[in-house]
Structure 1
Amino acid sequence: MTYPKPLPSSTARRKSTRLRRQQLAGLLFIVPALILVAIFFVIPLGMSFWMSLHNWPLLGKPKFIWFDNYAHLLKDAQFWASLRFTVYYTVIVTIAIFAVAFPLAIYAEKPRPLIKLYRTAFFLPVVVGFGSASLLWAWLLDVDAGLFSPAAQYLGLTAKRVNLLADFDTTFWSILIMVVWKTAGFNMIILLTGLQGISSEVQEAARMDGASTWQRFRRITLPLMRRTIALALILSVSGSMLAFDQFYIIADGGPQTSTVTAVYWIFSQSFVSFHLGYGAALSMVLLAILVVISVVQLRLLRNPEGM
């Protein structure tokens, strides 16, 4: 029985040196990204947590109060009401976005005449900032100077001009339509990427075996798009949980604080009431909730063989 000859020590040292150089080169490549993450995420996160342990006024000296802000948070009825509304909004708007984005992605994936024009038109609202889009829709929804209420009266749909922002239901659904119009194109592009990554040979083989359109969609398209759907879902849920601009600009939290989101309440406590320490505590709790939601989504959408 013969054994392989051990490598000469000089060869082993050269390989070890080459490996260390490769590791060092890789580390040097990621250092700029690590610095940016540290400056714009890790350090601000640490500062926010430190602020949350203080009574931190806008002017004056902060006072260390341990976890009193978190204890007060548990008794803050408005925060829990805003969190419930945020979760309700997130569920509804995520379903609505996917209900629009998935058909658009399926339509845009097929080779058709003017398909590039269609894709551009579907994606165009995404390039408009949320603040600008909210200002546009605030004007469109205005009962006097806007477009929707006068147009409905002119067309005979309503007997008089209706203030769409005077009632919770009309306010909520008006904002939801705006958000779907604004963001469906982005989710369409993500889902379109997943659809284009599915081999046409797989679909053709299933069609040759007699699988219907629904069977191919359920048994082939959805399983193969699991990772893409997970990405789009996490981005949609995270963005919806952080909703602020549309409710602040269009409805100002109304009517009667019924559309105050969690971020809106954090903004109000931090920059209206100037309870900066309490606002930081609210932010930390919302961050923890987002992390838990993202982890749960990843686990639920994980492939059997792993993501």
Structure 2
Amino acid sequence: MSVTSLPTAAVAASRPKGRRRRRRDLVGLLYVLPAMALVLVFFIVPIGMTAWMSLHNWPLLGLPRFIGLRNYERLWSDAGFWASLRFTLVYTGVATVAIFAVAFPLALLVEKPRPLASLLRTAFFLPVVVGFATAALLWVWLLNTDSGLFSPALQALGITPQRINILGTFDTAFAAIVAMVVWKVAGFTMILLMTGLQGIPADIVEAARIDHAGPLQRFRFITLPLMRRTLGLALILCITGSMLAFDQFYIMVAGGPGNQTLTAVYWIFNQSFVSFRLGYGAALSIVLLAILLVLSLGQLWLLRDREDAR
């Protein structure tokens, strides 16, 4: 066999491998095509259509008229939108802290196999399967002054001298809505955090215990750093869901009392489907999407691993 024939033989031998690689890539592409089609149809195309609508004066009836960036210029002087955005940010901060304050202890409680752990996991997770609208209607009944549970209980315990309308004032209505959201969402966050806790290697925890590290030290220097990715995912989901809050405020208080609980999505809903300013509502939606994108990227940057930052 001559030396000059070696490259030719190598090329011939590599051809079947190249064909197998291309076939494998094609099969992988076929597997992801349905997901790509769903993302394109239900995410990319709607965002593009919303961005196009935001550049028009788009009435409910009649032909749209192109106006460029006037909708975006208008929102800078829209006091109602900025008030709703401020309230949404306050609600997001309070709800996120409350959810994590409940979900983390629950995750620590049910993380390890112990008696009734499976039953407790199921009980804590059950509210998650209830829709937000259904949960809001349930709590409207529980908070009813006459036929509900909470108002008579407060009177019976001597906390209030008489039955009160919990949803009638801002402070009590806000607290009731946050309590409902925590009851509804904490179980899902608990499952995420429990998964992160179970992913911590037992030998690392045992080594820290042998080195006489206390529970708080193990939690600070082992649990939290090793759960960084899980915490980041749970935090992003929690903040995004809170920023998009609508159902509970619409059903339980209808933006009241005194329009003090209008969230950003609620304001967009009013502009789009009550005032029939669809183009302006689309512009507000694009701005809210940009805010959510900035918040999510900021969280990912703050919670990044040190190795990834290098």
Q: TM-score surpassing 0.5? A: yes
C-alpha distance in structure 2 between counterparts of 1:122 and 1:151, whole Å: 23
One-letter identity of the residue aligned with 2:231 = I
What residue is the counterpart of 1:73 in the other structure? Answer: 75
Which residue number in structure 2 is paired with residue 197 of structure 1? 199
Superposed counterparts of 1:132-211, under 5 Å: 132-211=134-213
Q: Trace 1:25-174 onto structure 2 (pairs within 5 A).
A: 25-174=27-176
**Per-residue deviation, residues 88-135 of structure 1 (Å, max 9, x unmatched):** 110111011111100100010122211111111111111111000000
* Distance in structure 2 (CA, Å) of the matches to 1:111 and 1:246: 35
- Counterpart amino acid of residue 252 in structure 1: A
The ranges of structure 1 where at least 4 consecutive aligned residues each deviate by more than 3 angstroms after the TM superposition are: 4-7
Aligned-residue offset at 1:5: 7.2
One-letter code aligned to 1:133: A
CA distance in 2, matches of 1:169, 1:135: 20
Counterpart code for 1:162 = I
CA displacement 1:213-255 (0-9 Å, x = unmatched) = 1111111111110000000000000000000011111011111
Q: Mind listing any 5+ residue stretches in structure 2 that lack a counterpart?
A: 1-5
Q: Does 1:224 align with 2:226?
A: yes
Alpha-carbon distance, 1:188 to partner: 0.2
Identify the residue that residue 300 of structure 1 maps to in structure 2. 302
SS in 1 for 2:167: coil
Tell me the SS of whatever aligns to 2:307: coil
Q: 1:243-282 to 2 correspondence within 5 Å?
A: 243-282=245-284
Provide the rounded CA distance (Å) in 2 between the counterparts of 1:7 and 1:226: 51
Q: How many Å apart are 1:25 and its aligned residue?
A: 1.6
Matched position secondary structure for 1:116: helix
User: Normalized against structure 2, the TM-score is what?
Assistant: 0.95
In 2: Cα distance, 1:151 partner to 1:103 partner:
26
1 CA distance for matches of 2:9 and 2:154?
85
Q: Please identify, of 12-21 and 129-138, the stretch whose mean Cα deviation from structure 2 is larger.
A: 12-21
- Distance in 1 of aligned mates of 2:236 and 2:222: 22
- What is the alpha-carbon distance in structure 2 between the residues aligned to residue 158 and residue 216 of structure 1? 43
Q: Quote the RMSD (CA, aligned, Å).
A: 1.4
Q: Which moved more, 1:16-25 or 1:224-233?
A: 16-25
Deviations 1:200-220 (A, max 9, x none): 111111101111111111111
**Matching residue's letter, 1:122:** F
Residue of structure 2 in register with 1:213 after alignment: 215
- The range that moved more, 214-223 or 142-151, is 142-151
Q: Secondary structure in 2 aligned to 1:284? A: helix
Write the distance in 2 (CA, Å) between the matches of 1:123 and 1:15: 49
Residue-by-residue CA offset, 1:1-26 (whole Å, 9 max, x unaligned):
xxx97862211222222222222121
In the alignment, the residues of structure 2 paired with residue 156 and residue 262 of structure 1 have an alpha-carbon distance, to the nearest angstrom, of 37
Partners of 1:152 and 1:144 in 2: CA distance: 12
SS of residue matched to 1:59:
coil
Q: Partner residue of 2:23?
A: 21
Aligned-partner residue type, residue 252 of structure 2 = I
Identity %: 64
Please state whether the residue corresponding to 1:82 is helix, strand or coil: helix
Equivalent-residue separation in structure 2 for 1:7 and 1:98 (angstroms): 63
Q: Classify 1:7/1:99 alpha carbon distance in 2 versus 1 (closer, same or farther; 3 Å).
A: farther
How far residue 147 of structure 1 moved from its aligned partner, in angstroms, is 1.8
For residues 301 and 14 of structure 2, what CA distance do their matches in structure 1 show?
42
C-alpha change, 1:7 and 1:254, in structure 2 (3 Å) is farther
Output the CA distance in 1 between the equivalents of 2:11 and 2:201. Answer: 49
